[in-house]
Amino acid sequence: MIGIIDADLITRKKHRFPNLASMKISGYCKAQGHDTRLITSYEEDLAAYEKIYISKVFTNTEIPEDVLRLETVTCGGTGFYFNKAPALPPEIEHTRPDYSLYDGFVEKLRAAGSKPSELKSYTDYSIGYLTRKCFRGCKFCVNQDYKAVEAASPLEEFLEQDRKKICLLDDNFLGFRGWEPLLDQLIQTEKPFKFMQGLDERLLTPKKIEKLFSAKYDGEMTFAFDDIADAKLIEEKLDMIRKYSNREIKFYILSGYNPKNDQSAEFWKNNLVSVFERMNILAKYKALPYIMRHEDYERSPYKGIYITIGRWANQPGFYRNISLNQFIDKATAAGEKAPGKYREKTLGDFPELEKYFSKVYEKEVQLIG
């Protein structure tokens, strides 16, 4: 029996997305005649397994040291090695994912009352990469050492006809020179599809916009707005989008990234201002933000306000209708003390941020058909 551990699943209790490497390893092992099983607790008898493969995506996912020391354990993934993570061997990389790996886990969640919408990543989607890597060189990214986007797997390698939708994990699909025939293949399946990572808005052209926005896209189309320095170009592309489509779009907003470990108050003020200013730009074009906190934020004396901004902005029902101040007031009225303390600390040090805390986006950001 081969044991498969999706470490993010065990440690991050709200994590609900299958690990692609784990499914490929399981598929390969089964093709070699082995039985595989998803291990969902470190309390299991791990000595009962001939071999255990552990994969994780997030660097701050913790794994017990005694588990890592087992001779039967092999580890892999960006959560262990970040930008130095070794690729899967080709024979595993190009194995069809074993989507059944998570079936037992899903059944337990169903029995415990989980809603179908909470389990859809395990039940509804074919998952894979059409392309990999990126040329941007962003230092916060696992792809920082690459110079180009490359072809990865053909669609038929991971497409399951009985799954209703397709989820792509591509790092920078629009940066691939052969993007158009790949997009045509997705469209020809007649299945709704989505890109899990934020698409690179800076690479949009009228042709890309027309093909993307006329396709059967699953949910909100999501882009990335990582740096306020890109504001002019982002606005140009947003204007281009709005000339073609009024559909709802969302942007990941990177926050708290501190590559030089600058712990000055001025740095954190400017970082918070850049978050709010990017939100202001998006609001002009009726686009929603989604706050993504880099792990550097955990070292900030303003850590709490980053969390609070995310709680507010990442819920459109709040973001569209009440200000950050009103959100904090509601939390306080409900018995939460922390958000009020975070606001007091932040505005005490940076009273000039009050205008951002008081802004309501209702008139600017609305659902668009």
Sequence spans of domains, the chain: 1-123
pLDDT at residue 175 greater than cutoff 90: yes
Enter the pTM of the model. Answer: 0.91
Q: Sorting pLDDT into bands at 50, 70 and 90, what band is 137? A: confident
Q: What is the pLDDT of residue 308?
A: 98
Q: What per-residue confidence (pLDDT) applies to 365?
A: 54
Query: Is it the case that residue 301 has pLDDT exceeding 60?
Result: yes
Average pLDDT for the chain: 95
The tens digit of pLDDT for each residue in 28-79 reads 999 999 999 999 999 999 999 999 999 999 999 999 999 999 999 999 999 9
- Please determine, for residue 368, whether its predicted confidence score (pLDDT) is greater than 50: no
For residues 67 and 70, give the distance between their C-alpha atoms in angstroms, rounded to a whole number: 6
State pLDDT tens for residues 224-235: 999 999 999 999
Q: Determine how β-strand 193-195 pairs with β-strand 165-168.
A: parallel
Between CA 19 and CA 330 the distance in angstroms is 37
Closest CA to 275 of 248, 296, 305, 247: 305
Query: Quick check: 130 pLDDT over 50?
Result: yes
| pLDDT of 363 strictly over 50 | yes
Token reading at 150: 């490359």
Average pLDDT over residues 164-188: 97
Spatial distance between the Cα atoms of 91 and 225, rounded to a whole number of angstroms: 36
Residues composing the chain = 369
**Hey, which bits of the chain come out as E strands?**
2-6, 36-39, 51-55, 73-76, 125-128, 131-132, 150-151, 165-168, 193-195, 221-224, 249-255, 288-293
> Which of 246, 322, 317 lies closest to 287 in space, CA to CA?
246
Q: Residues 322-342: pLDDT tens digits?
A: 999 999 999 999 999 999 999
CA distance 3 to 51: 6
- From the list 126, 165, 174, the residue with the least C-alpha distance to 24 is 126
| Contact predicate 241/202, CB 8 Å | no
Q: What is the pLDDT of residues 187-222, one digit of tens each?
A: 999 999 999 998 999 999 999 999 999 999 999 899
Residue 247 in 3-state DSSP? coil
What is the CB neighbour count within 10 angstroms for residue 258?
17
Mean pLDDT computed over 284-309? 96
State the pLDDT at residue 367.
46
Beta-carbon count within 10 A of 317 CB: 7
Which pair of tokens denotes residue 72?
């039967």
* CB burial string 36-49: b at 16+ within 10 A, e below: bebbeeeeeebeeb
pLDDT band at 141 (very low <50, low <70, confident <90, very high): confident
- Ranking 58-72, 131-145, 297-311 by mean pLDDT, the lowest is 131-145
